[in-house]
């Protein structure tokens, strides 16, 4: 069979399913990371000494340990801790859903990077803007929604764009713990048919497509959040 026939015979569809799975994992992990990051950033900026120490420890350790090692450690720790907990309260150990584990593990990694991006963005807001809002008597939540959030976005979007691209690329590492996303399915396809070069190239092209479309989308988003600001350069 030729390469095209192999792709048409069902492997092509499998790869596309894998790409969708990769997108789902990345998107949910990215969102989880953003939620962790938002609380992390607010904790670092407004929290007490202990909160700040803990968050510093989290971001420093996660950002200096290789992602692959971190994913393997978190996956192993998380599934084992959950099963120990289940056994200790009298349930049988379960097989943990690979999808949820993948999202949780990647999300915790993303959270550390998001924390730093969002902290930097919030700190870049001219302090006078926040003081003015306080002087108007805005309660904290309203201040966050009306001032902090829209004012920080232009500073945050470039970093967040990078993080999303990293999330899609790091999701390939999830294949080592066995979840069927694009890379794992490609491994099966390539190993099963011996068409290594073609299948990995097709997978690479799908990842590249995801990256290019994302870059375009984030470029548009960047223009939107910068509306009304003078053009850079």
Partner 1 sequence: MDFSVLIDFLPLILKGLYYTILLLVLSLVFGMILAIPIGLVQVTGPRPLAWLATAFCTVIRGTPLLIQLYILYYGLGSLFPQMPWIRESFMWPVLREGFFYAVLAFTLSFAGYEGAIMKGAFASVPKGELEAARAFGMSPFTVLRRIWLPRAIRIVLPTLGGETILQLKATPIAALVTVVELYGAAGQIYRSTLDFFPPMIMVAVIYILLTFIITRLFNMVERQVPQRR
- Which region among 84-92, 120-128, 192-200, 225-233 touches partner 1 (by CB under 8 A)? 192-200
Site for partner 1 in 72-101 (CB under 8 A): 72-73, 76
Query: Which residue, 69 or 94, is less far from partner 1 as judged by CB?
Result: 69
Element (H, E) at 200: helix 196-225
Name the burial class of residue 70, with classes exposed (0-12), middle (13-18) and buried (19+) by CB atoms within 10 angstroms of its CB.
buried
Query: Which residue, 33 or 170, is less far from partner 1 as judged by CB?
Result: 170
The residue from 84, 212, 223, 224 that contacts partner 1 (CB under 8 A) is 212
The residue from 67, 78, 96, 149 that contacts partner 1 (CB under 8 A) is 67
Alpha helices in 124-195 (DSSP H): 127-135, 140-143, 149-170, 182-193
Rounded CA separation 13/33 (Å): 30
Site for partner 1 in 172-191 (CB under 8 A): 172-173, 175-176, 183, 186-187, 190
Q: CB of residue 168 vs partner 1: minimum separation in angstroms?
A: 8
Q: What angle do CA 154, 157, 162 make, to 5 degrees?
A: 155
């Amino acid at each position: 069979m030729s390469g095209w026939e192999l792709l048409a015979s069902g492997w092509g569809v499998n790869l596309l399913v894998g790409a969708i799975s990769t997108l789902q994992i990345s998107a949910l992990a990215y969102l989880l990371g953003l939620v962790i990051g938002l609380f992390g950033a607010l904790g670092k900026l407004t929290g007490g000494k202990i909160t700040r120490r803990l968050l510093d420890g989290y971001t420093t350790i996660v950002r200096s340990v290789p992602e692959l090692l971190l994913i393997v450690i978190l996956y192993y720790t998380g599934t084992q801790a959950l099963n120990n907990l289940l056994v200790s309260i009298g349930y049988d150990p379960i097989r943990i859903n690979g999808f949820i584990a993948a999202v949780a593990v990647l999300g915790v990694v993303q959270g550390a990077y998001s924390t730093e991006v969002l902290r930097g963005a919030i700190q870049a807001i001219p302090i006078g803007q926040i003081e003015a809002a306080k002087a108007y008597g805005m309660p904290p939540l309203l201040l966050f929604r009306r001032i902090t959030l829209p004012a920080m976005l232009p500073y945050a979007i470039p970093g967040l764009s990078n993080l999303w691209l990293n999330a899609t690329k790091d999701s390939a590492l999830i294949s080592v713990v066995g979840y069927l996303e694009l890379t794992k399915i490609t491994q099966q396809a390539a190993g099963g048919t011996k068409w290594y070069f073609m299948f990995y190239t097709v997978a690479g092209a799908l990842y590249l497509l995801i990256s290019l479309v994302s870059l375009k989308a984030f470029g548009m988003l960047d223009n939107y959040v910068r509306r009304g600001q003078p053009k850079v350069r």
